[in-house]
Structure 1
Amino acid sequence: MTWDPAPLSEVVTLFSRIRAPWWIAGGYAIELAVGHAFRTHDDIDVLLFRRDQAAVQEALPAWECWAADPPGTLRPWLPGETLPPTVHDIWCRPGPAQPWRIQVMLDESDGDDWVSRRNPTVRRALADLGRHSAAGIPYLAPEVQLFYKSERPRPKDEQDFTAVLPVMNGTRRRWLADALGTAHPWHDRLG
């Protein structure tokens, strides 16, 4: 399965058509928080709430979208199908013989809160979930992105952590430390 990530500008254009909230996630979210590119990317991630999953098909009407059914099986996501709570990722490409271009992640919400799918006791007010770059691009708050990257950190996740930590204020660092303490008590990176 080949990946050729869509350029950030293309993803922004495609998802700007929808009314549901969405955010650039993954390594690109970290770079948007830092304010400049500092590493290569194997994919590009977009985060939406599970409740808004139909907006993916609205943003990409002519594209193929495949549900990543655990534990690692891809299957076509049929138009209008509601994905079950076990599906958190959708792989998208313009056509059948083309590489994957965008990965969409579905996340949970409860009223005015984002709820971590990995540990439902970790929450964040929806108003604090994302930020906007100087160019107006919505991206996942770096502390939330680092929380995701903390479960099984890879070298690129360590690189992201090192790059973004200096631009995070005390409130954001405290939230991350509390979230890590709740979900990963063994994690002492901010302790």
Structure 2
Amino acid sequence: MTWDPAPLSEVATLFSRVRTPWWIAGGHAIELAVGHAFREHADVDVLVLRRDQLAVQEALPDWEWWAADPPGTLRPWRPAEVLPPGIDDVWCRPSAAAPWRIQVMLDESDGDDWVSRRNPTLRRAIDRLGAVSAGGIPYLATEVQLYAKSRNTRPKDEQDFAAALPILDEAQRRWLAEALRRISGEHSWLDRL
């Protein structure tokens, strides 16, 4: 399956039609936070709340949407179909002949709070879930993105952590350390926070 990740400026233009919160996620979110690119990316991730999932379909009605049905099977995401918990990733492309351009990730919420899929006791006000880059692109808060990357870390996750660590303020460090302690009690990043 071929990927040709959409540039962030294109994603921002496409998602400007979405009338619900959305954030650039993954490694691109870390780069937006640190203010510069520092590694290659195989895809581009956009996080939306599960409750708002149909808003992305409506904003890009001519695109193809494919749900990643665990344990890794892609299937068409039909218009107006509500994806249940457990189906958290959707691959998107402008047509059947085009490469994949955007991966939409679905996260949980409860009222005005984001709720971690890994530990439902970990919550955060949705209005504090992200930040906005100098170029006006919303991205997932750095400490929340690092929390997401902390599970089964890969070399690129370690690289993202190392790049982001110097820009984390004390409150962000505390939040991330508490989140890591809640999910595992231990993590190699805790000593550096």
TM-score, length-normalised on structure 2?
0.96
- The equivalent residue for 2:17 is 17
Provide the residue aligned with 1:45 in structure 2: 45
Report what 1:117 is aligned to: 117
Q: CA deviation at 1:118?
A: 1.3
Q: What's 2:32 paired with?
A: 32
In the alignment, does 2:54 pair up with 1:91? no
State the Cα distance separating 1:30 from its structure 2 match.
0.1
Following the alignment from structure 2 to structure 1, what is the Cα–Cα distance between the partners of residues 77 and 66?
5
2:144 corresponds to 1:144 = yes
CA displacement at 1:16 relative to structure 2: 0.6
Alpha-carbon contact 1:50-1:106 (below 8 Å) kept = yes
Classify the secondary structure of the residue corresponding to 2:9. Answer: helix
Q: How far does residue 188 in structure 1 lie from its aligned partner after superposition? A: 3.9
Output the CA distance in 2 between the equivalents of 1:12 and 1:183: 32
- Find out whether 1:182 has 2:171 as its counterpart: no
Q: How does 1:100-111 map to 2 (within 5 A)?
A: 100-111=100-111
Which structure 1 residue ranges, 5 or more long, are not aligned?
A: none
CA distance in 2, matches of 1:188, 1:121: 22
Distance 1:62 1:127 in 2: 30
The number of equivalent residue pairs is 191
Q: Is the 8 A contact 1:2 1:100 kept in 2?
A: yes
Q: Structure 2: where are the runs of 5+ without partners? A: none
Whole-Å Cα distance in 1 between the matches of residues 50 and 101 of structure 2?
20
Measure, in 1, the Cα distance between the counterparts of 2:54 and 2:3: 23
* Mean CA deviation greater in 166-175 or 181-190: 181-190
- Cα RMSD after superposing both structures: 0.9
Q: Which amino acid aligns with 1:63?
A: W
Counterpart Cα distance in 1 of 2:152 and 2:64: 29
Q: Out of 119-128 and 137-146, give the one that drifted further.
A: 119-128
Matched AA of 1:90: V
Structure 2: distance between partners of 1:20 and 1:58: 11
Partner amino acid, structure 2, of 1:2: T
Q: Which amino acid aligns with 1:171?
A: A
Q: Does 1:82 align with 2:69?
A: no
**d(CA) in 1 for partners of 2:86 and 2:127?**
26
Deviation, 1:175, is: 0.2
Question: Partners of 1:41 and 1:128 in 2: how far apart?
Answer: 26
Answer whether contact 1:151 1:184 (CA < 8 A) is retained: no
